[in-house]
Structure 1
Amino acid sequence: MKKALSLLMVIMLVLGALAACGPNREEGSKSDSGEKKADDANKPEKLVVWEDQEKIGWLDEVGAKFEEETGIKVEVKEVEMATKMKEQLRLDGPAGTGPDVLTLPHDQIGELALAGHIAPLEVDGDIEKRFTESSMTAESYDGKLYGLPKSSETPVFIYNKALMEEAPKTMDEVYTFSKDFTKDGNYGFLALWDNFYFAHAPMGGFGGYVFAEKDGALDPKDLGLNNDGAVEGTEYIQKWYTEGLFPKGIIGENGGSALDGLFGEGKVASVMNGPWSFQGYKDAGIDIGIAAMPKLPNGEPMKTFMGVKGWHVSGYSKNKEWAQKFIEFITQDEYAKLRFEQTQEVPTNQGLIDDPAIADNPGAKAVAEQSQYAVPMPNIPEMGEVWGPMADSLQTVVTGKQEPKAALDAAVKQIQQNIDANHSN
């Protein structure tokens, strides 16, 4: 009897060990592609997804495929992304009426992550490799990933083919062309370089930076906006204004509309602007050419700011695991390509860089090429203290009221004071 009991105990121990070695079904397992399977027992009936206005059409098709594979319905709601999305999340999330998945510009990630409005993600390596490194960096904050990229945008060189045969390779060529072309109300090249979003391109190309990167995170205590490179870049900006190559009206809040108006009237040969401007210029009857920004006089590329739009999981979602599975699903190459074809927003999927849909599209190709040199806009909350002082300093330079070094020193001093006052631990 004792032997029988002993044998039974051995069998039970072996079975227990085998069970321990097997997959934990409650925690999920790995599929053949390396993706974690969400627990069917916790599968929701639906996921609520917030997409940007006038960009939801592609989700009808992709959402239906997700439902076919998982049995989960996808309810899509249009919410204006740039300003309304985060504010509505703050209200609807805690109330239980918010989304499971939403889309955001990457420079809002730090603020929302700190407040717990969006949840960190843990994805497999094959998912990470799907996207360009810079776009994944943009979707990260304080060493953690908070979203998967859906598209990127950055300023590029746009020219009127009737006035300029091809895009110059260097800004020295653009300068020479402008010196000859700029007369009688016509201009060779225009850029909103009193606006720090655009001015960062030459400042960064000469060696300036906003915040230094340290151990994978941005250090708000290390500002590079008045270093030698930033000053040299601002001196380069100053030259275009002091030599009359930029009109006096291209300054301040109305500068963008003035620039667009002149280009649309055929009075400007080339401009620095983003992909959001392409259609408007075409509608104005301009046959536009589009290329990456020409290189600076020091031989370096323009370090334009890059904005990345991404998919995020709400910190209030009760279905975070399935919400992550959804954004992994919809950012696959074939669906990212479908979204591009419908919205013209350039995806950051590495597998699409040479796809004819991108490579044969001049605007998309230029954005993709320029993005190789672009710098993701800092997404830490302290970045909010940079825009105002930098705009003020640049405007004093381009209007001849202050020299670059003094203006940048004043801006950095103000930024540091604002950071100390508003972001101290």
Structure 2
Amino acid sequence: MKKNTWKKVVTSGVALASIATLAACSSNGSKESTSSDKVSLKLWVPTDAKESYEATVKAFEKAEGVSVKIVESNDSKAQENVKKDPEKAADVFSLPHDQLGQLVESGVIQEIPEKYATEVADNNVENAVAGAQYKGKTYAFPFGVESQVLFYNKSKLSADDVKSYETITSKATFGASLKEVNAYATAPLMLSVGNTLFGEDGETVDGTNWGNDKGVAVMQWLADQKDNKGFVNVTDAEAVSKFGDGTVAAIETGPWNYSAAEEAVGKDNLGIAVYPTVTIGGNTVQQKAFMGVKLYAVNQAPAKGDAKRIAASYKLAAYLTNAESQENQFKTRNIIPSNKEVQSSDAVTSNELAKAVSSMTGSVDYTTVMPKLNQMATFWTESASLLSGPYSGKIAPADFLAKLQQFDKDLAATK
């Protein structure tokens, strides 16, 4: 099939009318269907997640009378894998929200039916809803939120100590990678001082404004950490091991490292908190992190205009992200739920990790939703090089402003 033919098939007026009608219907019990008209769907779940979804999918199959083939796929490469050949890709697939813009712009995914958009808005926390939207329209179904948090060793730091970066580094040690920067972890410092990335809405191509005095102050702060006795440069790969052997008493990382961190320092010694404040350019600000939203999206291309199959795909995406499924993902994989009801449940609020992530992702004071523009691909590469310069010495203080201004221009010019 030619490059754009599949887009025309799934967006025809007749097909969309049928999809909207079928998708709006709900089935509460199993329905009879013959083998000849039974709908078959392909589902891509995150790597190592298949077992956690098997019971959920079986319940869906029984309720809807469809068959679902579950395949594990690296969701960090979702847009790449789906765009490669949409017709052969999954009907429903998981993805991180920052890939949403690329998939929408390329025509791979469409705005979800109004019924589901309303449910997404009503049932999920505000930032998660924003992660499922692009240019004001809803294109996917959120099922989890994530951000980095602070892990600290309770035998070396108290809950009060970790409220401030300066206190952490004066009483103990903090570890992070500044020689080779991971932009996901470090770039939000620019947002902590009030600068923007692709504008306030995260969708304005020429809206990045790091080339100013506040941006220079961040660059100088990064350079100053080389002389901070309480700062230890550790790579992302060694952060948990250095946390475990006592080289550092605090690190900033995410739920994905929770089990390893607990094993490294012991359950009783592992403390978890929201990000500390930090003093940059003489001003004390709340350090921010990027917020990520875990999504399921529907790819209509495999259905080739079959409204029944497309409607079933939307039902599956909604089912995989409902409250019960999110409860299961929290229990089995430590995925912090985006559903408001589940997030406020005793199981979540009594969990130290979940409480910290929920606090981070529930407030714009602590997190910024990662933008979803195509230009993010350029951002990750260019910002990492830019932000590693001050600590490594590859960028001199006299060049900070010029480098930042050029960075702003380069991002704005990216197509």
TM range (shorter): 0.7 to 0.9
For the 8 Å contact 1:58–1:342, the answer to whether it is kept is yes
Question: Given the alignment, which residue of 130, 135, 149 partners 2:128?
Answer: 135
CA shift, 1:407, in A, is 2.7
CA shift, 1:418, in A, is 5.8
Deviations 1:204-223 (CA, angstroms, capped at 9, x unpaired):
12112211035xx6111121
For the 8 Å contact 1:204–1:230, the answer to whether it is kept is no
Question: Given the alignment, which residue of 65, 77, 80 partners 2:71?
Answer: 77
Long gaps (5+) in structure 2:
1-16, 304-308
Question: Given the alignment, which residue of 271, 293, 296 partners 1:311?
Answer: 296
For the 8 Å contact 1:385–1:419, the answer to whether it is kept is no
- Scaled by the length of structure 2, the TM-score of the pair is 0.82
What is the match of residue 413 of structure 1?
A: 406
Long gaps (5+) in structure 1:
1-24, 182-187
What is the match of residue 364 of structure 1?
A: 354
For the 8 Å contact 2:210–2:408, the answer to whether it is kept is no
Distance, in Å, in 1 between the alignment partners of 2:314 and 2:245 is 47
What is the match of residue 214 of structure 2?
A: 229
Distance, in Å, in 2 between the alignment partners of 1:120 and 1:26 is 15
What is the match of residue 13 of structure 1?
A: none
For the 8 Å contact 1:208–1:228, the answer to whether it is kept is no
Question: Given the alignment, which residue of 79, 90, 108 partners 1:117?
Answer: 108
What is the match of residue 6 of structure 2?
A: none
Question: Given the alignment, which residue of 72, 89, 105 partners 2:96?
Answer: 105
What is the match of residue 36 of structure 1?
A: 24
> Does structure 1 residue 238 correspond to structure 2 residue 223?
yes
CA shift, 1:403, in A, is 4.9
CA shift, 1:76, in A, is 1.0
Deviations 1:151-177 (CA, angstroms, capped at 9, x unpaired):
121111100122223353532xx4234
Q: Which has the higher contact order (CA 8 A, sep 6+)?
A: 2
> Does structure 1 residue 48 correspond to structure 2 residue 42?
yes
CA shift, 1:27, in A, is 7.2
Deviations 1:304-357 (CA, angstroms, capped at 9, x unpaired):
101111000014142322211221222221221111111111111111222122
The change in CA–CA distance for 1:234 and 1:348 in structure 2 (over 3 A counts) is: farther
> Does structure 1 residue 295 correspond to structure 2 residue 283?
no
CA shift, 1:363, in A, is 1.0
What is the match of residue 154 of structure 2?
A: 161
Deviations 1:143-199 (CA, angstroms, capped at 9, x unpaired):
32221111121111100122223353532xx42342343xxxxxx112335432222
CA shift, 1:57, in A, is 2.1
**What amino acid is aligned across from residue 350 of structure 1 in structure 2?**
K
Q: Secondary structure at the match of 1:223?
A: coil
> Does structure 1 residue 344 correspond to structure 2 residue 326?
no
Deviations 1:229-254 (CA, angstroms, capped at 9, x unpaired):
3333333333322334323x53xxxx
Distance, in Å, in 2 between the alignment partners of 1:170 and 1:45 is 54
Alignment of 1:166-245 (within 5 A): 166=159, 168=161, 170-171=163-164, 174-181=165-172, 188-193=173-178, 194-213=181-200, 218-245=203-230
- Scaled by the length of structure 1, the TM-score of the pair is 0.80
The change in CA–CA distance for 1:413 and 1:26 in structure 2 (over 3 A counts) is: closer
The number of residues matched between the two structures is 376
For the 8 Å contact 2:42–2:90, the answer to whether it is kept is yes
Distance, in Å, in 2 between the alignment partners of 1:414 and 1:233 is 14
CA shift, 1:105, in A, is 0.9
State which structure, 1 or 2, has the greater radius of gyration over its C-alpha atoms. Answer: 1
Distance, in Å, in 2 between the alignment partners of 1:43 and 1:159 is 56
Distance, in Å, in 1 between the alignment partners of 2:123 and 2:251 is 33
For the 8 Å contact 1:242–1:398, the answer to whether it is kept is no
**What amino acid is aligned across from residue 37 of structure 1 in structure 2?**
C
Identity among equivalent pairs (%): 23
Q: Secondary structure at the match of 2:70?
A: strand
